[in-house]
Structure 1
């Protein structure tokens, strides 16, 4: 064949191939630009987060496992999802706590070395370094959890096999054992006629407490099995229930297994991991906290996280006494809390309550300052409450960029989508917020619901590991589930905005273990979480923690770069998870029931 003919034929073949590639590229461009998959979460650059946390653990001593996979990034269509790291996983072995192991709360070596336990330091976080890479075994006979809403009233005994609370609280109707189930009748220490009657009693006492409208976000201190928060869900109120580990056997674990928002925490020597001015109402029913101790620091911490104009409902036998020498009376007066109601002997139960209201202006603080705790330094208003000590000062009221005091949020559900007052003052801040809300609504509807292999009917407890403005949680608002929004300590601090929207959340460092029990969540959501953690912690350690807190049969829904997916997927496969990839950026992992035998 003449060379000229050969060149001619190759020329036309090349033109044909080029045309096909051009058409394909145009099609892909239209497909990807029709939906903003790669919407970044931008915030004005001058929002500064002051972070002080323990130094990240050294990885040099962790020799049992490989480090993060060093892989050359491959195109999505070339990624083999069946590739697994050769990791010899072992089961955690810690005696009686093994199946409920919480690394940062069960660090017995660190607890033994504490110089003092006066301020409940032994109930606070003490994270092991390096993080443990063992896998928590399942309780014997573990079953797929009872689905919501049945789970509010009954759970499998074998999933949380802790019967002591039944005997300990049998007179208070917290929980009963019935065949293979724990049953929760809606009673409690202060709920002798049932929690519904108790909630109505609060409303009758102070009609301004309009559940699910004026009051949306509640904190329940020392919550028992969280029946108060569980029944408030019927009234469009989301309650963060918290208690320390082991105060009553597995009470928070009962709450989470029931599908009720809860976390492990304690008012000890450190601030709670919530922002200032977060909660509309705080509730304490015989919560066993000595508010006046240590110069009143525990109550000053409540004052910090209570929204101006918000209520503190303190329910206990002695609270209605009028003893001016009572330290609690003096302390609440010193921080200008107003007694708006006081009741005793509710329905002949000898239960009393007092309801305080936090001031929404500085008018009271201006009088007789010598008898009041000093106002906190303005700098503390900007710090993230992560390993920060409690302070004996009164938190300053929130203001906007012009120094004007912030008002109460819009009534629920309008506050979910209205512009938050705590948004930064930059001209484009509102536009960014609105775009973020639209982005998540569209992404959840078009991709998460329609395109991914996730059984949303099985999901109740959800965690957004990198929550931003809380747009993912807002998009799920109509579903029968709840979302714990996590703002990483090295991300921009948006947690105040999340609470102002009527959602709940916490600060956390994903280089450490979370303060929750194993098998807590049905779905973990992560949107570009790992980009800021490459230098601080190993992706294997984060995967081990996700495996710990996710229930068998639960999902990881991750949107990230191809580089991150290529590193994480082999780790998940080594844990015997099944994985699937959508559009080269959405990785769905499903945890099974596999656990190592040794």
Structure 2
């Protein structure tokens, strides 16, 4: 029995263990199946953002496919260490290093380029500095822009109906990759060496909300876009009042103009902005056409775009503008551009009179006062000369609008009680062709303002009737002008008449030294007080005094810049001993910025699908050194470089390199007509602006300035990009490309012709 019991016990034990083993195995299998069936958890990267595992795998796959994108670029912008960086915790070097993070740069080889119509989010990868875990999923809300499904269904951007490269641009191999040129923009150093147009600048807001990645199917994304448009469209309203199609808020503020105590000094033509920036959307003129491309636009434009016949009638005998069918024709004539010779002969006559002027070499940037339809500036492009033309919005109906529609730089402005919005000593020449400005009255206040902006050694070109007409009034005006200019130490270097056209010309030259001022017998006009800052220009009253010629090393205006085009890339000599905007030595700062924007434009912006042959009027809304404009200098376009009034005053640098610009506050409207720019560039502007007004107000102003089919490129913090994207989608703009990395974003959008319905 004992043996039997033992035998039975031996049989039971193995059975028990087998059963237990099977139970454990089944439990483990069930546990494994449960774990495999559950969704993968997001991985958290070092900066606090989360990336789904499947996105991480996609990044890894792309990294294996395009390994050269993740290699260190040997041609990066100068990366020398700033020895002064510890002096100010806000300073950053030009490469985008910050105390918080280092934003990547990228490069691409000739074998690794993307087609010009790049919009595919999976092809926009950063460089080696970024680990794959640092990428954030791209949110591209517009179906017109390609998404990840574009690669999956095998359709090319052209088949999708996207923009393709212009005929004169080469189309790289479509099988190769590219990446977004995205990097943290440097904050300006709050350095005492850098003045601003604002009496007090608010600190730039740095704390942002954490941006969360979004997931979902294409159908959900499309539904979200449509929902955003429906809801957002209700938030945008039409400017529904008389004259709304040509509305300039700061020049058309009728209530403020009616309350002016006086208009004797053209106060009613100056800026009077509404208390709150308007956010309504300006309507299109009836039968609006896509503007003519340059240079065709210099000679003809669509009448329906600027449907005004006042100048064609008022100046019909002076060859300014004529209507022919559905177009307006500009023969190149003007008040002083007589007979069949027009502006071309007039420009040659000036050069013959003053050979030292040397159009396009010595003289590059000029100011054209009372420009009419700006034919003078339009034909100076043939000489490599940039003319900043201005005239008031007055009874000469739409003259500035004509100029901009033609593709010629111009702003609406008047010489009244306020200084012109330019720094001192920057224009190589100032021109006035029969502009009827009373320079000689009230102590010569208006002429002294031209003296402020004219570069030492620069010329004032005056072809008004007092130069060559002999009636009593003109003879007296000439005597008064001769007396005033002599007191200002301007030298009369020429007074002559064109034998072909009969037009007279007087040329005065501003001194380049202070010796004449010091040796004057009478101190009238007086020298300005030392507290009168010559560069102060934003809402600054004019003064009846002479500013001394700058002589100190480190001041702009001491030396004439190099000849064009060398001055475009040469750092001004006076900048070399200054500390740059980004905290490095000034010259190095300037050169690194120039190289950076050359890289961005060539590797990224020229590959966004923009038809550059149709881009003529461009604005950089936060220009700093003007590097973006310099990178586009070979294109048939011009760039209005805007330096915000509360930013470091770098506008003299922009002029010294042969470009031009203006001061402005983006919580106010720009002094230009609607639909006058083809491309707007926004580079880390919104953080400072939104402390004083809404981003919506800025977008409304951009919509006002931008032509239908025009483009806007935003480089902003991801939070701002998200808000901008929501606003422009609600405006029915087409999102061509959107990309974020860490907390930085890049957004390229194209305006459409959609307008809100008028409220009945």
TM-score normalized by the length of structure 2:
0.72
- The separation in 1 between residues aligned to 2:557 and 2:631, in whole angstroms, is 30
Measured against aligned partners, the alpha-carbon deviations of 1:242-261 in whole angstroms (never above 9, x if no partner) come to: 10002411000000000001
User: Could you tell me which residue of structure 2 aligns to residue 478 of structure 1?
Assistant: 634
Q: 1:563 to 1:271 in 2, by over 3 A?
A: same
Q: 1:22 to 1:164 in 2, by over 3 A?
A: closer
User: Could you tell me which residue of structure 2 aligns to residue 393 of structure 1?
Assistant: 545
Query: 1:323, 1:329 within 8 Å by CA — same for their partners in 2?
Result: no
Q: 1:21 to 1:168 in 2, by over 3 A?
A: closer
- Equivalences for residues 267-346 of structure 1 within 5 A: 267-320=415-468, 326-344=479-497, 346=498
Match of 1:420 among 554, 572, 584: 572
Query: 2:534, 2:547 within 8 Å by CA — same for their partners in 1?
Result: no
- The separation in 2 between residues aligned to 1:449 and 1:402, in whole angstroms, is 36
Measured against aligned partners, the alpha-carbon deviations of 1:530-587 in whole angstroms (never above 9, x if no partner) come to: 1211211100100100000100110111111110001111111111111133432211
Measured against aligned partners, the alpha-carbon deviations of 1:209-249 in whole angstroms (never above 9, x if no partner) come to: 10000000011100010000000000100111110002411
SS in 2 for 1:326: helix
- The separation in 1 between residues aligned to 2:728 and 2:555, in whole angstroms, is 49
Query: 1:386, 1:507 within 8 Å by CA — same for their partners in 2?
Result: yes
- The separation in 2 between residues aligned to 1:359 and 1:106, in whole angstroms, is 39
Q: How many Å apart are 1:90 and its aligned residue?
A: 2.3
Q: How many Å apart are 1:330 and its aligned residue?
A: 1.4
Q: 1:414 to 1:398 in 2, by over 3 A?
A: same
* Number of equivalent positions: 580
- Equivalences for residues 479-494 of structure 1 within 5 A: 479-494=635-650
SS in 2 for 1:371: coil
Match of 2:600 among 435, 438, 443: 443
RMSD of aligned residue pairs (Cα, Å): 3.0
- The separation in 2 between residues aligned to 1:6 and 1:364, in whole angstroms, is 98
- Equivalences for residues 371-410 of structure 1 within 5 A: 371-381=523-533, 383-401=535-553, 406-410=558-562
Decide which moves more: 185-194 or 76-85.
76-85
User: Could you tell me which residue of structure 1 aligns to residue 182 of structure 2?
Assistant: 37
- The separation in 2 between residues aligned to 1:326 and 1:388, in whole angstroms, is 30
- The separation in 2 between residues aligned to 1:357 and 1:540, in whole angstroms, is 47
- The separation in 1 between residues aligned to 2:392 and 2:356, in whole angstroms, is 31
Q: 1:473 to 1:230 in 2, by over 3 A?
A: same
Q: 1:418 to 1:42 in 2, by over 3 A?
A: farther
Decide which moves more: 217-226 or 391-400.
391-400
- The separation in 2 between residues aligned to 1:6 and 1:343, in whole angstroms, is 102
User: Could you tell me which residue of structure 1 aligns to residue 352 of structure 2?
Assistant: 204
SS in 2 for 1:497: helix
SS in 2 for 1:370: coil
Q: 1:567 to 1:368 in 2, by over 3 A?
A: same
Structure 1, unmatched stretches of 5+, are 57-69
Q: How many Å apart are 1:315 and its aligned residue?
A: 0.4
Query: 2:467, 2:478 within 8 Å by CA — same for their partners in 1?
Result: no
User: Could you tell me which residue of structure 2 aligns to residue 63 of structure 1?
Assistant: none
Query: 1:473, 1:485 within 8 Å by CA — same for their partners in 2?
Result: yes
- The separation in 2 between residues aligned to 1:503 and 1:572, in whole angstroms, is 30
Q: How many Å apart are 1:34 and its aligned residue?
A: 3.5
Measured against aligned partners, the alpha-carbon deviations of 1:401-447 in whole angstroms (never above 9, x if no partner) come to: 46797111000000001111342623711111100000000000000
User: Could you tell me which residue of structure 2 aligns to residue 352 of structure 1?
Assistant: 504
SS in 1 for 2:517: coil
Measured against aligned partners, the alpha-carbon deviations of 1:295-325 in whole angstroms (never above 9, x if no partner) come to: 2110000000000000000001212577698
SS in 2 for 1:437: helix
Structure 1 residue 534 and structure 2 residue 690: aligned?
yes
Query: 2:343, 2:375 within 8 Å by CA — same for their partners in 1?
Result: yes
Structure 1 residue 587 and structure 2 residue 747: aligned?
yes
Decide which moves more: 17-26 or 249-258.
17-26
Structure 2, unmatched stretches of 5+, are 1-23, 44-52, 73-103, 108-180, 203-207
Query: 1:400, 1:421 within 8 Å by CA — same for their partners in 2?
Result: no
Q: 1:230 to 1:380 in 2, by over 3 A?
A: same
- The separation in 2 between residues aligned to 1:292 and 1:475, in whole angstroms, is 42
Query: 1:75, 1:562 within 8 Å by CA — same for their partners in 2?
Result: no
Q: 1:169 to 1:323 in 2, by over 3 A?
A: closer
